[in-house]
Amino acid sequence: MVTLEQFIADRQQEFERATGAFSKILRDIGLGAKLVSFYLRRASLAGFLGELGLTNIQGESVQKLDDMANRLFLNLLSQNPHIAGLASEEEEHIIQANPAGKYVVLLDPLDGSSNIDVGVPVGTIFSIYRRISQVGTPCEEADFLQGGRKQVAAGYILYGTSTLLFYTTGQGVHGFTLEPAAGEFLLTYPSVQMPSESSYYSFNDNQLHEWAPGLQKYVQDLHQRNRTAAKPQSLRYVGSLVADFHRNLLKGGLFMYPGTVKKPEGKLRLLYEGYPMAWLTEQAGGKATDGIRSLLDVEPKKIHQRTPLFLGPASEINRIAHFLTENVIVETA
Ligand code: P6P
C-alpha cells in the first residue's frame, strides 16, 4: 500500500527541485478532499442541500455545498506557506495568501453541484502554477494567466462510489482511492492510459441545432458508424464534468461541450476546468482541443474565461477537427 504522500515523496524530483512544496500543497488538497467527502455524504442528513440564496460571479445560484467546499479549500490552502494566491470559480477576484509562497492554485471547488441533490457524483478540479511575479510580494493576476502548458500540477477529486484523487505533474497520470479506515489516499491507478478506442460519447445535445454544421455532421457520422460497428459507442452523460471525464479516462470515450451560435465560447471554464482536464487527457495519451487547436495552447485572457472543450481519444478528436475544417458530406443511408 503506497499512500499519496509516500508516492509524491518518492518522486519529489518530478516537481520543482524536491523542495517538498508540492507534497505539502497536495497534502492540503487531499485533506480538503477528505473533509468535503465527509460533508457531501451527510448533506441530506445535515440540511446541507439546496441553495444558499446567493448568486456567484458566474450568475449561478450558489448551492450550500458549493459554498462549503469553496470556503473549506480556500481556508486550508490560504494557510499553506507555499501558496501565494488562489483563484476559485466561486470568487470574482484572485485571493492573496502568502507573499513568500512560490505557487498559485486555481480551483473549481465543487463541479457539478446541481447533481448532488440527486446523488450523482460530483468533483473538485485543481490546477497549480509556479508564480511569475516577485516572491515576497502579493501575487498578481498574471500568475494565473500563464497558459495551460505552464501548469506544474493538475488533477481532480471524484466524490463517487469511492473518493478518488487523480493528478499529473507531467510524468503521467496517477490515481488514488481514499481508504476511510486509514484516512489515507492509497495508490490504486498508477500511470493511467486512456484507451485509444472510444467506447462512450458524452455530450448534451440539447443545443445540437446551434452547433457548427461540421460538428452536427460529426454527430451524424458517429451515429452512422454505430449502425455497423461491432461494438457501437454508448451515450454516457451524467452532467458532472469530473464524473464524465473520469469514466472516459478509464474506459475510453469522448467528452465534448462545444460552443453554440449564441455562446461560441461554450460553458466550461478554461483555467480551472479546461486546462487541468486537457493536461490530464494528454498525459494519459488522449487529445484535448477547443475543436481545432490544442486546448493547452488556447490563450488565457480572463480568470473566468470560458472555452469549448473536447477531450478524448485522438481518433475521435481528429475526426471532429476534420469535420469542423472540411465541408464533409455525410452519406445518409
Ligand atoms: P449541462 C456542471 O454544471 C458543469 O459545469 C460540468 O460539470 C458539466 O460537464 C456541465 O456543466 C454540464 O452542463 O449544460 O449539460 O447541464
Q: What are residue 255's DSSP bridge partners?
A: 202, 311
Confidence of residue 56 (pLDDT cuts 50, 70, 90): confident
Task: Answer whether 241 contacts ligand 1 (Cβ < 6 A).
Answer: yes
Query: pTM of the full predicted structure?
Result: 0.95
Q: Whose CA is nearest to atom 13 of ligand 1?
A: 239
Q: Does domain 200-326 sit in CATH 3.40.50.300?
A: no
Amino acid at the residue 255: F
Per-residue cell: 128: 497549480
pLDDT of residue 131: 97
CA 41 vs CA 49, 65, 116, 159: distances in Å: 11, 11, 10, 9
Q: What are residue 87's DSSP bridge partners?
A: 106
Angle, CA 59 vertex, CA 56 and CA 64 arms, to 5°: 40
CA distance linking residue 9 with residue 56, whole number of Å:
38
Ligand 1 atom nearest 257 alpha carbon: 9
Asked whether the predicted pLDDT for residue 307 surpasses 60, the reply is yes
Q: Would you tell me which CATH number, out of the four given (3.90.1170.30, 3.40.47.10, 3.30.540.10, 3.40.50.300), belongs to the domain 4-192?
A: 3.30.540.10
Q: At residue 173, what are phi and psi to the nearest 5 degrees?
A: -110, 130
CA distance linking residue 206 with residue 250, whole number of Å:
26
> Ligand 1 centroid vs 238 CA: distance in angstroms?
9
Task: Answer whether 207 contacts ligand 1 (Cβ < 6 A).
Answer: no
User: What is residue 242's DSSP assignment?
Assistant: H
pLDDT of residue 12: 67
Task: Answer whether 20 contacts ligand 1 (Cβ < 6 A).
Answer: no
For the ranges 17-26, 38-47, 210-219, the maximum mean pLDDT occurs at 210-219
CA distance linking residue 199 with residue 7, whole number of Å:
31
Task: Answer whether 240 contacts ligand 1 (Cβ < 6 A).
Answer: yes
| Burial label, 45 (beta-carbon count in 10 A; 0-12, 13-18, 19+) | exposed
pLDDT > 90 fraction of the chain, expressed in percent and rounded:
82
Per-residue cell: 65: 455545498
For the chain, give every domain's residue range: 4-192, 200-326
Q: What is the CA radius of gyration of the chain?
A: 20
Instruction: Compute the CA torsion angle 320, 277, 122, 256 (nearest 10 deg).
Output: -10
CA distance linking residue 113 with residue 66, whole number of Å:
7
Task: Answer whether 239 contacts ligand 1 (Cβ < 6 A).
Answer: yes
Yes or no: say if 70 and 88 are a contact pair by the CB < 8 Å rule. yes
CA 246 vs CA 155, 166, 172: distances in Å: 11, 9, 15
pLDDT of residue 327: 59
Instruction: Return the sign of the alpha-carbon dihedral for residues 275, 16, 192, 292.
Output: positive
CA distance linking residue 264 with residue 267, whole number of Å:
9
Q: Give the three-class secondary structure for 14.
A: helix
Per-residue cell: 162: 469511492
Task: Answer whether 60 contacts ligand 1 (Cβ < 6 A).
Answer: no
* Best of 210, 241, 269 for a ligand 1 pocket test (most atoms within 8 Å of beta carbon): 241
pLDDT digits (tens, 9 = 90+) for 213-250: 999 999 999 999 999 999 999 999 999 999 999 999 99
Asked whether the predicted pLDDT for residue 17 surpasses 90, the reply is no
pLDDT of residue 288: 98
> Strands 200-202 and 234-235, how do they pair?
parallel
> Ligand 1 centroid vs 290 CA: distance in angstroms?
16
Ligand 1 atom nearest 244 alpha carbon: 9
CA distance linking residue 16 with residue 243, whole number of Å:
30
> Ligand 1 centroid vs 112 CA: distance in angstroms?
6
- How many other CB atoms sit within 10 Å of the CB of residue 121? 22
Task: Answer whether 273 contacts ligand 1 (Cβ < 6 A).
Answer: no
Q: At residue 123, what are phi and psi to the nearest 5 degrees?
A: -150, 170
Q: Whose CA is nearest to atom 12 of ligand 1?
A: 239
Yes or no: say if 280 and 168 are a contact pair by the CB < 8 Å rule. yes
H helix intervals, the chain: 4-10, 21-40, 64-78, 213-228, 241-251, 275-283, 314-325
Ligand 1 atom nearest 122 alpha carbon: 7
Most distant pair of Cα atoms in the chain: their distance: 66
pLDDT digits (tens, 9 = 90+) for 173-197: 999 999 999 999 999 999 999 999 9
* Best of 110, 111, 244, 309 for a ligand 1 pocket test (most atoms within 8 Å of beta carbon): 111
- How many other CB atoms sit within 10 Å of the CB of residue 96? 14
pLDDT digits (tens, 9 = 90+) for 106-165: 999 999 988 988 999 999 999 999 999 999 999 999 999 999 999 999 999 999 999 999
Q: Whose CA is nearest to atom 2 of ligand 1?
A: 112
